[in-house]
Structure 1
Amino acid sequence: MQALSKIIFAITATASLGFTGCQKVVKPVLSTPTIEMPTNQNIAQKPINQFNLEGKIGVKTPQQSGSAFYTWVQDQENFDIQFNGILGLGKTIIIGKPGEVSLNSSKTGLITAETPEELLERATGWVAPITHIVDWVQARPATSNSQIQTDSAQRISQIDEDGWTVNLSYNDNATLPNKLILKQQLEAGKENRITMVIQNR
């Protein structure tokens, strides 16, 4: 009887070890999706900066004003902007990638800088928040410090950010704006104003 009990115990213990071994093999396979999912979610949450715009832009500062037709091709952090007739510079091309931006026109020749804002100010004397405009034309704020207002369709209609107030207008039921008015308040009640009309996307 004791021998039979020992045999039953040995079989039970062996079976238990076998099941435990199976569990150890299965666990890593089950845990793999849990590790990968956050990575995939993070990739999906990154903003996509991919667009091709055409339209007209007007600039008015206390010192000068002017307008131009433009094309703007944005490919993530790289961009190519062309202006025709801007403030007497003639055709102007701005090409940029992170940390390196160049402007070329018949009047100024080739100018380089680290940011498009610095480059445009050196060439034309006026300031435009080009880096932020990449987000604004897509109806979203550029930083977490912005204040926004929405219209009756819950689209962003105004963004206050980094000293600029941006008013966005939409065509009918469109989800992206066709017109942006950027205003930067200066001393003595003066302002810089940029009107950007988007005719084609």
Structure 2
Amino acid sequence: MQSVEEPHHLHPGQSPSGLEQWLISGKLSIKEDNHQQSSAFSWLQNHEDFDIAINGFLGHGSSRIFGNGNRATLEQGGSPPLSASSPSELSSHFFGQSLPVESLFFWIRGLPDPQLPVYDATFNENGTYSSFRQEGWTLTFRSQTTVDGFLLPSSIHARKDKLQLKIIVKQWQPEASH
């Protein structure tokens, strides 16, 4: 096990660990065995408040998962809203699998979740994480982009057992406001 460390070649102010507000858009794909679903998504994050819109996943039309550190709500199609104490609880209702949504807050920025042990961490030449393992998930960051001085992942692949999650970020807007 390795401790969670800041990437060591970045200057202060460029580290994505301080980034707690953003608007991103891209594509999300989940594959298990021979079944694959993909969708466009957007994610607005303002410190603990989040609002994730997912379009067309599993035939649900437009869906939203939103909330804060204490509560999460799922709205999809014409169904009544469903609430839970965390977005991970809601993920099994929406995706059919429990996904580590709280850890995605860190993983989307190319960082390990500081609340979890880190295994097998590898680094790029610029000091950012290339890959690591957490909670049985193997994370690989295949490409990066620089936006407003932040070096951020644009392609994230996560695998746990037979489940594969791929996130392609097409647009990063750090420090977006509500």
Q: TM-score of the superposition, structure 2-length normalised?
A: 0.77
Structure (1/2) with the larger helix percentage: 1
When residues 173 and 113 of structure 1 are mapped into structure 2, their CA distance, relative to the original with a 3 A threshold, is closer
Q: How many percent identity over aligned positions?
A: 22
Equivalent residue number for residue 88 of structure 1: 59
Superposed, 1:12-161 pairs within 5 Å as 47-62=18-33, 64-106=35-77, 108-143=79-114, 145-147=117-119, 148-161=121-134
When residues 63 and 115 of structure 1 are mapped into structure 2, their CA distance, relative to the original with a 3 A threshold, is farther
Matched positions, count: 151
Higher CA-based Rg:
1
Please provide the CA RMSD for this pair. 2.0
When residues 108 and 120 of structure 1 are mapped into structure 2, their CA distance, relative to the original with a 3 A threshold, is farther
When residues 107 and 146 of structure 1 are mapped into structure 2, their CA distance, relative to the original with a 3 A threshold, is farther
Q: CA separation in 2, counterparts of 1:121 and 1:106?
A: 17
Deviations 1:18-77 (CA, angstroms, capped at 9, x unpaired): xxxxxxxxxxxxxxxxxxxxxxxxxxxx84421111000000124842010000011111
Query: What's the offset of the Cα at 1:109?
Result: 3.1
Deviations 1:71-129 (CA, angstroms, capped at 9, x unpaired): 00111111000000111111001111122110001154311111111101023312321
Structure (1/2) with the larger strand percentage: 2
Structure 1: give runs of 5+ residues left out of the alignment. 1-45, 186-190
When residues 111 and 63 of structure 1 are mapped into structure 2, their CA distance, relative to the original with a 3 A threshold, is farther
Contact 1:90–1:107 (Cα < 8 Å) also in 2 = no
Structure 2: give runs of 5+ residues left out of the alignment. 1-16, 173-178
Q: CA separation in 1, counterparts of 2:34 and 2:60?
A: 16
Contact 1:113–1:119 (Cα < 8 Å) also in 2 = yes
1:182 aligns with 2:136: no
Q: CA separation in 2, counterparts of 1:85 and 1:51?
A: 23
Contact 1:70–1:84 (Cα < 8 Å) also in 2 = yes
Which structure has more relative contact order (CA 8 Å, sep 6+)? It is: 2
- Structure 1: which amino acid aligns with 2:93? R
Q: CA separation in 1, counterparts of 2:132 and 2:40?
A: 24
When residues 95 and 176 of structure 1 are mapped into structure 2, their CA distance, relative to the original with a 3 A threshold, is same
Contact 2:145–2:154 (Cα < 8 Å) also in 1 = no
SS at match of 2:152: coil
SS at match of 1:127: coil
Query: What's the offset of the Cα at 1:137?
Result: 1.5
Contact 1:89–1:108 (Cα < 8 Å) also in 2 = no
